[in-house]
């Protein structure tokens, strides 16, 4: 054999990462005392433990304390005890602690990486080069936010004790995404990792001890769903931050309804990987390897749906198959391994089951001809072609190394296919034409869009989903808001409506119809049920009647709002002009509205005039802000810029209060409109005539049909209908506590963003009842990553 032959015959030898240090750490630790509570290591009070094992061999790694409800109580108590001092510490003091954590993690990077790989099964190249450095970056980045708090978030303070629950796919990184912003904001935390992957969180707790984190500021408890439930339901916790499946996210949304707990949910995904025919196919294939086979596809934002333009489909699929044949499946501690084992046997069985079902439903599933290691929970990379949009592999999150492929003909079809999912976490767009990519990105219903790239993350750039991928963002400025509260000026407690007005059947002819109708799709329409409500003046006389809106009317209003494309697609300057015009036209009829307020509410003429004036001023304010509450550009430590765009939430339902019936309604509708949302408003149940008087003002003001829809009737009932409607994206409810709680609980169908006053109104006349706090709720932040350079 000559040298050349020898060279070609050379095989890569194994290059396993040394695990001695990790084994020594495992041997030395007492995992029976693995609960880190109040700065001490505790055994579970019930004495229970659970097992964590190495997915590459199935071998037991440790028996870890399994926290009981009493242990969660103790952890919350420790966090509550530490809270006053920690939240009162200066930003600089907190920054020093965050920085110390980051530095201490840097000193143990290798141990973290090996432990993560042993416990989770992810290739060491990923834990070493991605998970651990990104986790460290999070702590160091957030040290800065701690110091910038007063200046960048005026009027805000930490929300309090936070309960955090994370999954197993990025154990250390998810921990960092949760703990770093919470500590920066001055919160104290009780965090529960997933039961499959407790190890790096235990090492992290050791780091907290060494880095001088005050006792009780970080509490880390171990356990499964039971411990999670105890955290979610704990009355001593002010915020729940959850990352995990959409199914559990919905359970948590329901469980926290009406509790007043702040909530963020980072859930599952079925992200589209869109390749246009002018894309650089070789780069797209490399992107795809990262998009779907990174961490064996156990990634929330995995590009698990390949949408490829018809003309290049065959060429791309051929390249993908060739590349798949070269993926190295094997020991995750080997630096050359691309694909390690799945986290657990249950996960492997689940993935196999989904692939089998996908094939039964018509998909052709292809795998490279490679041998699997003899032990461990391995699954070959899998490519499914011939996948119909309804196939389970196109719809369900597989959370494994399985790619479903579909083709599209043109841009519109690509967008439609990409959005044909209940999720909305991420998307990836491949085209050499950056104009096309940036045309498509805003039309994708996803919280993160990568142009000619995938799986780019940074602590400065928000990450989070639309729709059933959850709500809230992690990272950056928007992530900080999740751990802060701004004091909004509270108004009166709202009591349930006393059903004084009985429905009246409307006559079909004869007498002149004095009943105010509903306002749907730009037209005044009769309610479907043909019933109306008699509305009394402050003196108990009949002021008029309004239509009694029903489920069917809400349905019509939502469909009008969804169809009103002209409004979200208008420029911010256009929207601003329409809002100015609304203000102008209301001002022309100010006297009439003031008289109506006095007649209905008994307000003095002076107070009534003031409320009308404030309403006009508020319209003016939002007209002015419509083109100013803008996104940002981030410059992450990568050759990319990230455009954090503010996009409308979509169709927003608004249930307005009785107090300040004109100002309250306008204070809610105007910011929603300013940001390009379309609105279905249910005005005050007691004083709806102020809203029906607005119809003409709206009609004169060039508001496109369907941008504002008004359905009068019983607030509690209509709030429920809006909450359950899956085509409503956001819901703002200022009603009695029971109605608010029900709206939150019933919103789980599509996990719409609910903002409720929890039974309290606001002091609508106050300057604080306007501005950014409202606008922020009216937008989704979408981060579009645009790489540059050759
Ligand atoms: P999971 O929802 O089963 O579990 C997540 C965590 O919740 C675990 O710690 C678990 O013990 C706990 N838990 C389970 N039931 C609970 C309950 N009823 N109440 C409270 N806590 C409960 O999810 P998983 O299988 O561990 O993780 C995979 C999921 O996580 C995927 O759907 C994935 O997309 C998602 N994920 C999302 C993101 C994101 O940022 N959007 C990031 C990573 C993972």
What is the pLDDT at residue 7?
Answer: 82
| Residue 144, pLDDT above cutoff 70 | yes
Q: Is the CB of 647 under 6 A from ligand 1?
A: no
| Residue 121, pLDDT above cutoff 80 | yes
Which ligand 1 atom is at minimum distance from the Cα of 247? 2
266 is catalytic: yes
* Spatial CB neighbours of 548, under 8 Å, sequence gap ≥ 6: 503, 527, 529, 531, 532, 533, 712, 713, 714
Q: List the catalytic residue out of 187, 208, 300, 740.
A: 300
* 473 Cα to the center of ligand 1, angstroms: 16
* Spatial CB neighbours of 206, under 8 Å, sequence gap ≥ 6: none
Work out the average pLDDT over 495-522.
70
* Percent of the chain clearing pLDDT 70 (strictly above): 98
Ligand 1, atom 16, residue with closest C-alpha: 225
* 228 Cα to the center of ligand 1, angstroms: 10
Mean pLDDT score of the chain: 96
* Spatial CB neighbours of 470, under 8 Å, sequence gap ≥ 6: 246, 249, 264, 265, 266, 267, 464, 751
* 680 Cα to the center of ligand 1, angstroms: 33
What is the pLDDT at residue 503?
Answer: 65
How would you classify residue 274: left for phi > 0, otherwise alpha for psi between -120 and 50, otherwise beta?
A: beta
Ligand 1, atom 39, residue with closest C-alpha: 266
Lowest mean pLDDT segment, chosen from 132-146, 167-181, 492-506, 522-536: 492-506
Q: Is the CB of 228 under 6 A from ligand 1?
A: yes
Work out the average pLDDT over 723-743.
98
Q: In this structure, what are the phi and psi dihedrals at residue 265, rounded to the nearest 5 degrees?
A: -130, 120
Which ligand 1 atom is at minimum distance from the Cα of 266? 41
- In this prediction the pTM is 0.96
What is the pLDDT at residue 511?
Answer: 46
Q: Is the CB of 350 under 6 A from ligand 1?
A: no
Ligand 1, atom 20, residue with closest C-alpha: 228
Q: Is the dihedral of CA 112, 115, 119, 123 positive or negative?
A: positive
Which ligand 1 atom is at minimum distance from the Cα of 251? 18
Lowest mean pLDDT segment, chosen from 272-276, 305-309, 503-507, 770-774: 503-507
Angle at 44 between CA 38 and CA 50, to 5 degrees: 125
Q: Is the CB of 269 under 6 A from ligand 1?
A: yes
Q: Which of 356, 381, 369 is nearest to 296 (CA)?
A: 381
Report the 10 Å Cβ neighbour count for 42. Answer: 18
Q: Is the CB of 267 under 6 A from ligand 1?
A: yes
pLDDT tens per residue, range 690-713: 999 999 999 999 999 999 999 999
Print the SS3 string covering 449-511: EEECCCCCCCCCCCECCCHHHEECCECHHHHHHCCEEECCCEEEECCCCCCCCCEEECCCCCC
Q: How confident is the model at residue 16 (pLDDT cuts 50, 70, 90)?
A: confident
Q: Is the CB of 397 under 6 A from ligand 1?
A: yes
What is the pLDDT at residue 596?
Answer: 97
pLDDT tens per residue, range 421-470: 999 999 999 999 999 999 999 999 999 999 999 999 999 999 999 999 99
CB 675 within 8 A of CB 626: yes
Q: Is the CB of 169 under 6 A from ligand 1?
A: yes
Angle at 145 between CA 142 and CA 148, to 5 degrees: 160
Give the integer Cα–Cα distance in Å for 443 and 542: 49
| Residue 235, pLDDT above cutoff 80 | yes
What is the pLDDT at residue 13?
Answer: 67
| Residue 60, pLDDT above cutoff 80 | yes
Report the 10 Å Cβ neighbour count for 356. Answer: 12
Q: How confident is the model at residue 509 (pLDDT cuts 50, 70, 90)?
A: very low
| Residue 505, pLDDT above cutoff 70 | no
What is the pLDDT at residue 247?
Answer: 97
Q: How far is CA 200 from CA 197, 204, 468, 741, in A?
A: 8, 6, 29, 37
Q: How confident is the model at residue 510 (pLDDT cuts 50, 70, 90)?
A: very low
Report the 10 Å Cβ neighbour count for 332. Answer: 28
Q: Which of 356, 369, 446, 364 is nearest to 398 (CA)?
A: 356
What is the pLDDT at residue 506?
Answer: 52
Q: List the catalytic residue out of 126, 266, 474, 545.
A: 266
What is the pLDDT at residue 732?
Answer: 98
Work out the average pLDDT over 42-54.
97
Q: How confident is the model at residue 579 (pLDDT cuts 50, 70, 90)?
A: very high
pLDDT tens per residue, range 291-338: 999 999 999 999 999 999 999 999 999 999 999 999 999 999 999 999
What is the pLDDT at residue 500?
Answer: 56
pLDDT tens per residue, range 244-258: 999 999 999 999 999
pLDDT tens per residue, range 558-577: 999 999 999 999 999 999 99
């Amino acid at each position: 054999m000559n040298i050349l032959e020898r060279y070609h015959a050379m095989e890569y030898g194994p290059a396993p990462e040394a695990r001695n240090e990790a084994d020594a750490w495992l041997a030395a630790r007492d995992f029976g005392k693995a609960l880190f509570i109040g700065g001490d290591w505790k055994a579970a009070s019930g004495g229970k433990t659970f097992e964590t094992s190495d997915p590459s061999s199935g071998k037991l790694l440790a028996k870890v304390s399994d926290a009981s409800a009493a242990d969660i109580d103790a952890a919350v108590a420790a966090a509550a005890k530490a809270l006053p001092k920690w939240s009162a510490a200066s930003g600089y003091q907190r920054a020093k602690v965050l920085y110390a954590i980051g530095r201490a993690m840097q000193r143990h990077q290798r141990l973290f990486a090996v432990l993560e790989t042993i416990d989770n099964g992810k290739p060491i190249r990923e834990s070493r080069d991605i998970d651990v450095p990104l986790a460290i970056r999070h702590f160091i980045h957030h040290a800065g936010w701690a110091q910038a708090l007063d200046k960048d978030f005026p009027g805000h303070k930490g929300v309090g004790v936070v309960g955090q629950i994370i999954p197993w796919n990025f154990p250390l990184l998810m921990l960092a995404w949760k703990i770093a912003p919470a500590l920066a904001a001055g919160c104290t935390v009780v965090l529960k990792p997933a039961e499959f992957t407790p190890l790096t969180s235990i090492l992290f707790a050791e780091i907290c001890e060494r880095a001088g984190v005050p006792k009780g500021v970080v509490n880390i408890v171990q356990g499964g769903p039971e411990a999670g439930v105890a955290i979610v339901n704990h009355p001593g916790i002010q915020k729940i931050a959850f990352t995990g499946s959409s199914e559990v996210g919905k359970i948590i949304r329901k469980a926290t309804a009406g509790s007043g707990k702040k909530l963020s949910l980072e859930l599952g995904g079925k992200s589209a990987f869109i390749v246009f025919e002018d894309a650089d196919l070789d780069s797209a294939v490399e992107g795809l390897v990262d998009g779907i086979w990174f961490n064996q596809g156990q990634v929330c934002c995995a590009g698990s749906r390949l949408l490829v333009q018809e003309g290049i489909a065959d060429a791309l699929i051929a390249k993908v198959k060739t590349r798949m044949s070269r993926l190295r499946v094997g020991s995750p501690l080997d630096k050359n391994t691309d694909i390690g084992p799945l986290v657990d046997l249950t996960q492997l069985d689940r993935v196999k089951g989904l692939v089998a079902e996908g094939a039964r439903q018509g998909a052709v599933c292809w795998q490279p001809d490679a041998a699997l290691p003899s032990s461990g929970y391995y699954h070959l990379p899998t490519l499914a072609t011939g996948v119909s949009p309804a196939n389970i592999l196109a719809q369900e999150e597989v959370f494994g190394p399985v790619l479903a492929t579909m083709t599209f003909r043109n841009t519109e079809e690509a967008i439609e296919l990409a959005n044909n999912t209940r999720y909305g976490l991420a998307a990836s767009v491949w085209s050499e034409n950056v104009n096309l990519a940036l045309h498509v990105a805003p039309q994708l219903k996803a919280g993160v869009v990568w142009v000619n790239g995938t799986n780019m993350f940074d602590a400065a750039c928000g990450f989070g989903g639309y729709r059933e991928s959850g709500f809230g963002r992690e990272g950056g400025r928007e992530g900080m808001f999740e751990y802060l509260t701004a004091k909004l000026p509270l108004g009166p407690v709202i009591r349930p409506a006393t059903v004084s007005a009985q429905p009246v059947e409307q006559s079909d002819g004869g007498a002149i119809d004095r009943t105010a109708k509903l306002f749907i799709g730009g037209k005044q329409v009769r309610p479907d049920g043909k019933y109306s409500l008699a509305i009394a003046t402050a003196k108990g006389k009949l002021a008029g009647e309004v239509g009694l809106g029903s489920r069917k009317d809400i349905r019509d209003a939502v469909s009008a709002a969804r169809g009103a494309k002209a409004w979200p697609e208008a420029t911010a300057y256009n929207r601003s002009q329409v809002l100015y015009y609304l203000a102008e036209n209301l001002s022309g009829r100010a006297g009439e509205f003031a008289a109506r307020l006095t007649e209905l509410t008994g307000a003095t003429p002076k107070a009534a005039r003031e409320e009308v004036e404030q309403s006009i001023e508020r319209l003016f304010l939002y007209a002015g802000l419509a083109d100013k509450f803008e996104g940002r550009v981030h410059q992450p430590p990568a050759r990319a810029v990230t455009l954090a765009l503010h996009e409308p939430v979509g169709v927003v339902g608004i249930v307005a209060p009785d107090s300040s019936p004109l100002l309250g309604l306008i204070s809610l509708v105007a910011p929603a409109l300013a940001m390009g949302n379309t609105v279905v408003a249910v005005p005050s149940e007691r004083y709806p005539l102020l809203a029906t008087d607005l119809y003409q003002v709206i009609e004169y003001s060039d508001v496109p049909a369907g941008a504002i829809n008004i359905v009068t009737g019983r607030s509690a009932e209509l709030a429920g209908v809006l909450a359950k409607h899956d085509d409503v994206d956001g819901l703002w409810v200022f009603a009695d506590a029971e109605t608010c709680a029900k709206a939150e609980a019933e919103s789980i169908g599509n996990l719409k963003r609910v903002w409720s006053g929890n039974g309290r109104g606001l002091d609508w006349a106050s300057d604080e009842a306007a501005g950014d706090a409202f606008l922020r709720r009216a937008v989704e932040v979408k981060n579009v990553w645009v790489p540059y350079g050759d």
